[in-house]
Amino acid sequence: MLSRRSLVATAAAGVAALALTACSTGPTAEASADPTTASSVGVDKDAFPTTIKHAFGETTISAEPKRVATVGWNDADVVVSLGVLPVGATKITWGGNAQGSTDWFDAGVAKIDATAQIARYDDTAGIPVEEIAATKPDLILGVNSGITKEDYDKLSKIAPTVAYPGQAWGTSWEDSVKLVGQALGRNSKATAVSAETNKAIDDAVAKYPQIKGKSAAWAWFTPTDLSVVSLYTSNDLRPQILRRFGMVDAPTVATLSKGNTQFSANLSAEKSSTLAADALIFYVDDPKQVDQLKAHPLLGQIPALKTNHYVASADNATALTMSSPSPLSMPVALEKFLPKIASAVDGTPAQ
């Protein structure tokens, strides 16, 4: 599996020393009662069979799936937003709650079946094929994931598997809703969910007109190597959602993203002064780490750090709503993270 989650875990391990890192996605138990996928919404007429094209070919789903397992970080969120309960989902090891889930996912599940138990499997070391197989799925979704062709081949032997349509980790929440809606035979519901979520975004962003057209860069710093500033490229979901909020990629981000199919790129710390952005967002474990960055002879030259136009995000659960946005997590992002961005643009640091 492409190691975006591993990158987060590695950086998080050193965050107590200084740093700042990123990423990942939720009631649940390690062992599940293994129920057949529950649903509160019926399928569209003539929804099946349906064929979905993706990065590794195409997958035909002949009938309504009854046991859906997910491997994409926010795929389980999308499934639940469409009124369906998965039998298995990835354990949330960064930004999740004590159950390896998220509060918004748990709330969504409770609306469908408050007694449901959903198997959670840890993908930190790679796709846990055997654990996924144990849920006996008839459909596996990796619409927003980093599964490799080898992973896909293994999963496809268990059940029809749908991978991401373009780049790994780069499927927007809207495309995820559309693809998952097709896979579940709920295209009408998917259209309605997308429309409702987009209205919520538009209504929230309208409260912060100062961010429209402003440039943003989302970064992380590795304590063992402060010779670089690591930046999420235009492909990543964080810059994607910032653009949806009406912002634009900072010039350096746009430049590093050209011809780059990866979700991140490095900028030499010696070029810190060139990282112009109206707002800089990065991860911290402790507010004191900001002082350390500001005092660094090179990193301290980042313009947004010098002028206090930044978000030093220490709340991983809230930050998760931006790194893995979904219809379920969006209300949290709009309520808790969007105001931080506006504050940063105004020149008042936020955490």
The pLDDT tens digits of the residues spanning 245-300 come to 999 999 999 999 999 999 999 999 999 999 999 999 999 988 889 999 999 999 99
Which of these, 157, 143, 179, lies nearest to 70 by C-alpha position? 143
> Beta strands 215-222 and 161-162: pairing type?
unpaired
Burial class (CB in 10 A: 0-12, 13-18, 19+), 98: exposed
- Alpha-carbon distances of 18 from 91, 143, 223, 287, 306, rounded to whole Å: 26, 34, 5, 10, 18
pLDDT at 36: 59
Q: What percent of the chain has pLDDT over 90?
A: 85
Q: Which domains does the chain have, with CATH numbers?
A: 28-203 (3.40.50.1980), 209-346 (3.40.50.1980)
Q: pLDDT band at 223, cuts 50/70/90?
A: confident
The C-alpha atoms of residue 213 and residue 253 are separated, in whole angstroms, by 15
Q: What is the pLDDT of residues 119-138, one digit of tens each?
A: 999 999 999 999 999 999 99
CB of 347 closer than 8 Å to CB of 308: yes
Q: pLDDT band at 31, cuts 50/70/90?
A: very low
The C-alpha atoms of residue 351 and residue 313 are separated, in whole angstroms, by 5
Is 140 a residue whose pLDDT tops 80?
Answer: yes
Angle at 60 between CA 59 and CA 66, to 5 degrees: 105
**Which of 37-51, 57-71, 98-112, 317-331 shows the lowest per-residue confidence on average (mean pLDDT)?**
37-51
Q: What is the CA radius of gyration of the chain?
A: 20
Is 26 a residue whose pLDDT tops 70?
Answer: no
Q: Token digits for 109?
A: 């599940």
pLDDT at 282: 98
Is 33 a residue whose pLDDT tops 50?
Answer: no
Q: pLDDT band at 40, cuts 50/70/90?
A: low
Q: Which of the pair, 33 or 346, is modelled with greater confidence?
A: 346
Q: What is the pLDDT of residues 199-218, one digit of tens each?
A: 999 999 999 999 999 999 99
Mean of pLDDT over the chain: 91
Is 8 a residue whose pLDDT tops 60?
Answer: no
CB of 95 closer than 8 Å to CB of 329: no
Q: Which helix (H) or strand (E) holds 62?
A: none
Is 346 a residue whose pLDDT tops 80?
Answer: yes
pLDDT at 286: 87
The C-alpha atoms of residue 341 and residue 318 are separated, in whole angstroms, by 13
Q: pLDDT band at 38, cuts 50/70/90?
A: low
pLDDT at 206: 98
